[in-house]
Amino acid sequence: MGLAYFSTLAPRTHIRPHWGPHNMRLRVHLGLSIPHECAMEVAREKRVWQAGKCIVFDDSFHHSAWNNSNSMRVVLLADFWHPDLTEIEQSALTEILQIRP
């Protein structure tokens, strides 16, 4: 889908539960700098980042994150089309949503 960015989470902070507007994408988190005591919850399942490893989830599920450490957490986020979408559906959605490839 063309979206990628770095996400930092300051020490002793959290991201409140939220969810994406649709289930057309999968979100990937690549752990870059992951102190202990950092994790996220997706659909009531706890997931722990590891440096150099990815967490993939459906962004439309309820999710939150926290950093209970004294160090900054850094991940690279990227969105990809949900694998169940056909090329025709992806093309139509790109046009409708005005997504730039």
- Global confidence as pTM: 0.86
pLDDT of the residue at 22: 86
State how far the Cα of 32 lies from the Cα of 23, in Å rounded to an integer. Answer: 26
CATH of the domain at 60: 2.60.120.330
According to the model, what pLDDT value does residue 93 have?
Answer: 85
pLDDT of residue 60: 94
pLDDT of residue 100: 60
Count of structural domains within the chain: 1
Q: Comparing C-alpha atoms, which of 73, 74, 78, 76 is closest to residue 59?
A: 78
User: What pLDDT is stored for residue 34 in this prediction?
Assistant: 98
- Residue 3: what pLDDT? 85
Question: In which domain, by residue range, is 43 found?
Answer: 4-97
Enumerate residue ranges in the chain where pLDDT < 50: none
